[in-house]
Amino acid sequence: MPFHEINGVHLYYEDEGQGPPVLLLHGAFNTGRSQFGHLLERFWERGYRVIAPDLRGYGRSRPPQRDYPPEFYARDMADVSALLTALALPPVQVVGISDGGFIGLLLALHHPAQVRSVVAWAANTDWPAEERGLYENLLTSIQSNDLIELMRERHGTTKAESRAMIQDYVQASLDLTTGQWDAGLAGHLAAIGCPVLVGAGGHGDFLPLRHAEAQARQIPQADLWIQPKVGHFWPMTQEGGEVFVGRILNWLVQHGG
């Protein structure tokens, strides 16, 4: 099992296949395997080397307990950048879902020499006050025994640690909506110089579609992909995953992969 000491963390990552490198970035409360496990083989079969880290505090990259201080997105981006440097990889094609998509866009913005292209599915552009309720609603999930058990399986967390992880994430998101800190992407999308595929589910059942539309409008080399009649977590379903990875593989080939 591959690990690297990255910025003081024993960071775990999947590393399989041979060929042009594809970096898979998971979202909140997930791991590389839980988010992309049913898709990894499709990338290997098409001749890609797949790098899929567990971000610090998630999955096998524990300890530490996952926390969400101000600028935690920038910290995750720095960890990913350091991992790419440690592996001596050429510019990678990034595929990120939800928070992973946001981190991928940050990586393209701040470390353009490491990024060949980005696929960002259901990623935030900003955290406006009028969307505060999206994050407040997440607090109800800590009452779900099924979710707490899923968190235990993914991260090895206790019930208390799982609930703390969710609560801390929600608080950090609420702090963003009040402008207490800046996640670092809003107002800078035009500076992203690589090709980007911006994707979202047509239902807009978590993030409103305006996030994807703003990214596609402001990033110079962006394509917009709205998949009709699906939601935020569609790529993690068996049926959705097959369509998702097929669309991405075609796009990667078109953009140099």
What are the sequence ranges of the domains in the chain? 3-126+184-254
- pTM given for the model: 0.97
- Report the sign of the C-alpha dihedral through residues 125, 126, 127, 131, in that order: negative
H/E stretch holding 161: helix 159-177
**β pairing state of 9-16 and 3-6:** antiparallel
Contact 49, 21 (CB under 8 A): yes
- Report the sign of the C-alpha dihedral through residues 214, 217, 219, 222, in that order: positive
Look-up of token digits 């099924």: 146
Give residue 142's pLDDT. 85
Give residue 67's pLDDT. 97
**Vertex 213: Cα angle to 99 and 107 (nearest 5):** 40
Model confidence over 4-55: pLDDT tens digits?
Answer: 999 999 999 999 999 999 999 999 999 999 999 989 999 999 999 999 999 9
Give residue 83's pLDDT. 98
User: In DSSP terms, which residues pair with 50 in a beta bridge?
Assistant: 16, 22
Give residue 141's pLDDT. 85
Give residue 204's pLDDT. 86
Give residue 239's pLDDT. 87
Specify the 3-state DSSP secondary structure of 9. strand
> Which regions in the chain score pLDDT beneath 50?
none
* 35, 51, 67, 79, 121 from 236: Cα distances, Å: 6, 18, 24, 24, 12
List the structure tokens of 110: 């701040």
Distance CA 160, CA 4 (A): 28
Contact partners, residue 7, CB within 8 Å, separation at least 6: 56, 75, 78, 79, 82
Contact partners, residue 18, CB within 8 Å, separation at least 6: 47, 49
Contact 25, 104 (CB under 8 A): yes
Q: Which class does domain 3-126+184-254 fall in?
A: alpha beta
